[in-house]
Amino acid sequence: AQSVAQPEDQVNVAEGNPLTVKCTYSVSGNPYLFWYVQYPNRGLQFLLKYITGDNLVKGSYGFEAEFNKSQTSFHLKKPSALVSDSALYFCAVTPGNTPLVFGKGTRLSVIA
Amino acid sequence: DSGVTQTPKHLITATGQRVTLRCSPRSGDLSVYWYQQSLDQGLQFLIQYYNGEERAKGNILERFSAQQFPDLHSELNLSSLELGDSALYFCASSALGLEGYEQYFGPGTRLTVT
């Protein structure tokens, strides 16, 4: 069965600094990987996905993620954090024929 | 706005009662998913429907059931409610039943069981 680990419950970063939210996964076969963001009192919003191809995936709001097969990781990154990026971030994985499995989420706090 | 609508936004009910949550997917999306989000369990997949048929089942209790209607809207029925059922319930939709397609989430229904 597939699984996702987001090792940090909380990430704090100063505005303007680069940010990284970590995700590692376990899945049989080739993974489909996703990042979603949840703002307070809102549903999850799709940020980006990796299906195949270039290991560096660019998504919404300036976010990108790097797929690393050998380390089974799919870390979310942004070169310069904004206060408005503060939210709950979820990584999710599927082998393609079963529903997504989500991580527990990482709360990102960007401090002005 | 994702294009997925859910009603009601909030629901407060007593233990032992039954409630129905409603979801309308994005226009053209055939697949509907239901999730439960609670503080201690995170985001749990409950069930998926594709074009009216049940496609996949997750951690859905026997007291819970769902269906997708011919107009593609879906309902999640929760019965014999317990305090532990208090949570946010999300519906999501995607274009197809294939899991490589991103899901679009509704704003959720917050259920409080007292």
Are A100 and B108 within 8 A, CB to CB?
no
What is the per-residue pLDDT for B97?
A: 60
Instruction: Decide if A36 contacts A46 (C-beta within 8 A).
Output: yes
- Measured in whole angstroms, the distance separating CA A94 from the mean position of its chain's CA atoms is 14
- Cβ contacts below 8 Å, chain A against chain B, sum to 55
- Asked if A43's CB is within 8 angstroms of B4's CB, the reply is yes
A17 touches chain B (CB under 8 A): no
Give the pLDDT band (50/70/90) at residue B99.
low
Q: How much is the average pLDDT of B88-110?
A: 86
Q: Say what percent of chain B tops pLDDT 90.
A: 82
DSSP state of A93: E
Mean pLDDT of chain A: 94
Which one of A46, A103, A104 has the shortest CB-CB distance to B102?
A: A46
* pLDDT band at residue A97 using 50, 70 and 90 as cut-offs: confident
Is the pLDDT confidence value at A91 over 90? yes
pLDDT tens column, B59-85: 899 999 999 999 999 999 999 999 999
Whether residue A44 and residue B90 make contact (CB cut-off 8 A), yes or no, is: yes
Q: Residue B102: which pLDDT band, with cuts at 50, 70 and 90? A: confident
Q: Would you list the DSSP string of chain B? A: --S-EEE-SEEEE-TT--EEEEEEPPTT--EEEEEEEETTTEEEEEEEEETTEEEEE-S--TTEEEEE-TTS-EEEEE-S--GGG-EEEEEEEESSS-TTSPPEE---EEEEE-
Q: CA B106, CA B33: separation in Å to the nearest integer? A: 10
Q: How far, in Å, are A30, A57, A107, B57 from residue A53 at the CA level?
A: 12, 9, 29, 30
Q: In the predicted model, is pLDDT for residue B95 greater than 90?
A: no
Please judge whether A101 and B45 are an interchain contact, meaning their C-beta atoms are less than 8 angstroms apart: yes
pLDDT tier at A77, thresholds 50, 70, 90 = very high
